Structure 1
């Protein structure tokens, strides 16, 4: 077994970990001042993928320059050989645009801090940095005369604004924002009140720029516009379009058509055409997959684009007339530096080959994946502990990689039951090395239960770079040592990507891995709901309370949705609940319906560990438990499993369910409903009180002493392990050694009824856990004494005050469809408030 200090040293050398006090995880591009980074970062910012991600034609129309694996590559159409043009150290290159004379290429480079625009001289290989300052600078496009550049930058504001500059041998001059800042009056949720301007491209005469903006648009990335470069007041809307960040309009060389990507009433992005005057848009391509980043050839006869039809990204060129398509596949690659091959072979404690999550850093400081592996990136990192975010891919058990010669470091993780494995190898140019990773089991004793693990909140497809399938989702789960995945079908704006899949168990499930299709009901007004185990159909509309749309009404409220789901035998839970502890008196607005639904028996579980702050969510959960509501702890990652910039792999947040070892939807949902669970992002917890496990009840005739047993097993060191009784810590355990394995037993004095949980948590983040900080909690064990549990009037008044704010906000809404909807909703909320007032008395 490798000692923890050795692992930490290897991690520091390989993944940029630095010494110093702990800080907090921050977003990858923290300089961008916009909400919901998990949307714009994946859907707009270029991402590291093993397949191509963006493309440009050279002037001859016969050769392409494209981004792949963080480098720029050149390949002739019809050839199988690609030549690497750039390979920066500890940085990645994207979004090439070739100058009209074919002598240079503009591109954006990500260095772990921001993105800057660079220029490559194709003859000499000289690279020139054109922007500086650490902002996000993307989508560089050269004017047809080669004398100007348009691009998108967050410089000065943190918002995506359109910039232009003069381009000369020395770099950029006269750099300026073309449109300036504008703030819309319309209410938005997924987007800032500040408008953005993005996706620029030049008209063939060089006088105007096409772009996308959300000027007074509530629920989409915006419409396609054009603006005169020398007279920014001359702006024209070309087409109203819900683009989801990636329309990237481009005018044909003859100036008569505008090519763009859209899902336009469908679930996947394809290529569409309109005119500069905004004629009715018509589709050019068709398919249940995404096409994006399309570019016209210089003669307008062909179109190059990126596709995810095969799952991973790929590059193709299509004839405009006839649609004949040529796949551009780099079967032979000429790298800028000497390469080596190495094989990773992953084995479990029995010596059997097993899939796992793998992160590899080469001697060039860059992340590497197998040729066809889906590269993923964490959405945040602690800058006191890491120099850049973690990139990783899933290896099926044995995978082959190419890497620059030199020291290469590999990090292997497989769920929570195995200790992380890390090793470095010195690769020699032209050699092939075998790296054997033998994983060490660190599992809970079976005496605490026979658990199955499930991620209750996954989105198989959600507009990301890849196209996922149930079979691939099964493989992702197996690599994370995850037994079950609930794929929650849900909308992204007007799309519902997986809507055609029947609810229930997917045929791609295997004896060891279940895939169940369920639903997330979206209303950012009342709070999002997980609907697990629907037996017949997805509830539609899948969302409500979307202001400034035809579904603006706040009806159905969540209690009504819960009734519809329960009628299908589903379990209903609140997902990714709270990023802070709610203070009813101080919240700017408050419309979350959780207290009303709990007191009306509509809630079967809460994601205590999810896409939220775990300790804040638990604080509110404790108040509900104090009032006698027996609500189990669930967990869900909210993983967008087809993203390249993933907020966490499938199973990062998971619930362990004591099913006696059975793996079936019925057994999993029965255990969740009964509270035979613990929720975690790493630490595993065993807890027993007087022979009862979580979900159970201990009844004693009066105050006395109860015997407990506790176990901790964790892939990462744990700072705190505690017993929490009725909201207060009653026992803090002292952890020794590497703080990843501990067992305790003892006695606890119990003088009143109530509940108790075991929890583990850390003060700060840990690179071994791709989440805010390590955290785990069991569901409660309940104990009954004569006289019952202590009263909690303060908690009842807290939720009464909470509902006061919710009722006031709902009363102010003027977009209910009719009085029946309004009256039913308000009556439901007022009744819930009166019940909390009764509890307070």
Structure 2
């Protein structure tokens, strides 16, 4: 089948993950929840010895500010790099910190008297969380040096830098089969005891879920590591010993939906909370006298990060706000005014790279970072923020590059701007609309898969999510509420009326089981399906029951719409894959699936490969699209709407219209190119007779250049269109031979990544137009799914953690019945 693109194409040339040297699964979690990120608000903090002055990271620089005053003094400003995680020496002479340059994270030290900085580590590893010993003679930190895993390191430190750098605990492979965490144990979050003899840290020996326990180790006797407290918090515990050497401050969600500050002791006393509420409180540090705590929160009105100082006794808190900034270099005030073709102001996604080769944003805007980039074209990953036009930001004097985008139906706007020191720099942005001709449909853009809050840096709300959607020219967002291990962020929003506002925010559900595959459960009318996962090994919910077919029935019983989300990173190979448990073909055969995310947080070409085989067998499985964006992350796979489905609802936004149109397959899915297709005057989702010559019309509009535009019928390319010029606009009419039944669709795709597109590579496809008549032989496709389900049945039968024999028997029967349906098709003559 010529149109089934080989799985080798799944890896887009050039685009690579950020910090690719880290050898850990699920980088979208540890990058956001553990590693420092560029934010316009404060990110991490350390007290000066006087207890009245703070050094903190913000906007990629280190700043010093006195509590109660409003001026922040910039201490560092690297060219093309970002500084994070300061730790001030006990005597106040220097500060160590982490610097990220797009390739690695290195430890640096700055002399606070002279302002001179020098690197402490080199070699391309990720080095984070530096902590100086109380006497200033040793430093502990976390590094991936030599392994790609997060391990605790120790070194002597002097005027000439580091000496005798070494891992403190060494590597250890767990006996457990972990899913979200590495097979190798990690040791993170170091904190010194006041006497400098011991380190607190977080480790996960023989822990399947969560980043692990609070532990303590003597630095000169590392074999004597001991557990103080069992703690499952995801990446954010960061225990900190009080100056008294007894109390331990740490962050935990501890059965709640957000991180709060808690207290235990070196004896492992039952922890009690210090803070309460619905916002996040993390990265906490003790003052030198133990009377105050400084931490990073996000309780403010905009949900951005903020620096808070709290009295330990009494709980009085004050926000340390940098109203006035004393920068190291001259700046210019840039005013960006974004307008559409009618001259009306519109919100938009904006990226500004200053003369310092760093990203800049509004003081109160959420800065976001892409999850990958092509190192041949960019020095670091792209950063961006959402601008409610007009928006004002301070940038270094000199040349700045400004990029503006407002959805897919407007051309990308880019311009180089001269920012003059001490002056205002106006940037007038006139967007050029390039919509599809209306005869192809009256579309609404829908992202079927967004997570409004997922334990990230920022605190999101439906109102702010709507603003994000408006900036991306998105009409409907499905907020899929889902567990993150022990908690379910956003669960309080489930059942909240959504109305028909524009944009429309709907609260739905993602069902998590990494054994069977994840499901999107949209339009649930009655209740959230719990527990919202199964097959979680080494937990009380380890049983693979309920399987996805049962969950689909539960959702359909309350008028839900069921889809498979982010399906395949590679084309499944039943003969070669080490494991194959994905339940998609069984559920399609049993009539349980209403859509599949063809464009999503997976490989679009690999997913389309499987989809085509199902279409060949006559399963009218509609294409959906969802970004799987964690919309409150600073580092995310996104932004909201980067993957979306355009549904021909005649402009209606109400849930009934959206769900009905989605299930009918009336529309197209894309991460950029807009596609229009008419066959014999009919749009995708329609059925027409295969009767020889069929007239067609094709249209494409795209904000980025497209390499390939093709008509595909029954898995074969039947027409390739020659794209010329900027390859962003195309219209054609013609006739097509259609002597066989089956299906026909239009797709656009590129071989490689495009730096202007924050996804693997450009890809779009319409839903099929169905051709009535005798379809080609699809016995090979049926045999493929028979072999696939052989592997699924084998894996399910091998599980030893079913709750009872009835669960296992019912599951195996369901799978075998589905397999029989494919076997009958494979044996047809």
TM over 0.5: yes
SS at match of 1:500: helix
1:137 to 114, 124, 127: 127
2:165 to 175, 184, 188: 175
Alignment partners' CA distance in 1, 2:742 and 2:204: 52
Q: Compute the displacement of 1:705 (Å).
A: 0.6
Residue by residue over 1:78-107, the C-alpha shift from the partner in whole angstroms, topping out at 9 and shown as x without a partner, is 111110000000100000000011000000
| Match in the other structure for 2:4 | none
2:702 to 714, 735, 760: 714
Q: Compute the displacement of 1:397 (Å).
A: 1.4
Alignment partners' CA distance in 2, 1:534 and 1:778: 26
Q: Compute the displacement of 1:789 (Å).
A: 1.3
Residue by residue over 1:360-419, the C-alpha shift from the partner in whole angstroms, topping out at 9 and shown as x without a partner, is 011111100011010000000012222211000000111001011111111000110000
SS at match of 2:493: coil
1:816 to 797, 802, 805: 802
Structure 2 residue 262 is the aligned partner of structure 1 residue 276: no
Alignment partners' CA distance in 2, 1:411 and 1:219: 40
CA contact (8 A) 1:553 1:817 kept: yes
Q: TM-score, normalised by structure 2?
A: 0.98
Alignment partners' CA distance in 2, 1:763 and 1:807: 36
Alignment partners' CA distance in 2, 1:252 and 1:399: 43
SS at match of 1:673: helix
1:330 to 300, 322, 325: 322
Alignment partners' CA distance in 2, 1:383 and 1:120: 29
1:368 to 360, 363, 368: 360
Alignment partners' CA distance in 2, 1:114 and 1:568: 49
CA contact (8 A) 1:504 1:534 kept: no
1:673 to 631, 641, 663: 663
| Match in the other structure for 1:45 | 35
| Match in the other structure for 1:58 | 48
Alignment partners' CA distance in 2, 1:445 and 1:643: 36
| Match in the other structure for 2:404 | 412
CA contact (8 A) 2:13 2:751 kept: no
| Match in the other structure for 1:705 | 693
Alignment partners' CA distance in 2, 1:695 and 1:643: 36
Q: TM-score, normalised by structure 1?
A: 0.96
Structure 2 residue 474 is the aligned partner of structure 1 residue 488: no
CA contact (8 A) 1:505 1:514 kept: no
Structure 2 residue 818 is the aligned partner of structure 1 residue 826: no
| Match in the other structure for 1:584 | 574
> Which ranges of structure 2 fall in alignment gaps of 5 or more residues?
1-11
Q: Compute the displacement of 1:588 (Å).
A: 0.5
CA contact (8 A) 2:334 2:394 kept: yes
| Match in the other structure for 2:605 | 615
CA contact (8 A) 2:595 2:621 kept: yes
SS at match of 1:53: strand
CA contact (8 A) 2:696 2:734 kept: yes
| Match in the other structure for 1:85 | 75
Q: Compute the displacement of 1:790 (Å).
A: 2.0
Q: Compute the displacement of 1:502 (Å).
A: 2.6
Alignment partners' CA distance in 1, 2:299 and 2:802: 41
- What's the RMSD between the two structures over aligned residues? 0.9
| Match in the other structure for 1:9 | none
Residue by residue over 1:452-489, the C-alpha shift from the partner in whole angstroms, topping out at 9 and shown as x without a partner, is 00000000000100000000000000000000000000
| Match in the other structure for 1:264 | 254
Q: How does 1:198-237 map to 2 (within 5 A)?
A: 198-237=188-227
Alignment partners' CA distance in 2, 1:446 and 1:715: 18
| Match in the other structure for 2:391 | 399
Structure 2 residue 782 is the aligned partner of structure 1 residue 790: no
Q: Compute the displacement of 1:633 (Å).
A: 0.7
Alignment partners' CA distance in 1, 2:41 and 2:173: 37
SS at match of 2:488: coil
The number of residues matched between the two structures is 814
| Match in the other structure for 1:544 | 534
Residue by residue over 1:667-705, the C-alpha shift from the partner in whole angstroms, topping out at 9 and shown as x without a partner, is 1111100000200000000001001110000024xx411
> Which ranges of structure 1 fall in alignment gaps of 5 or more residues?
1-21
Q: Compute the displacement of 1:631 (Å).
A: 0.5
CA contact (8 A) 1:634 1:677 kept: no
Q: Compute the displacement of 1:503 (Å).
A: 2.8
| Match in the other structure for 1:105 | 95
| Match in the other structure for 1:752 | 740
Structure 2 residue 515 is the aligned partner of structure 1 residue 525: yes
| Match in the other structure for 1:390 | 382
Q: How does 1:141-180 map to 2 (within 5 A)?
A: 141-180=131-170
Alignment partners' CA distance in 2, 1:137 and 1:64: 23
Q: Compute the displacement of 1:214 (Å).
A: 1.1
Alignment partners' CA distance in 1, 2:611 and 2:318: 56
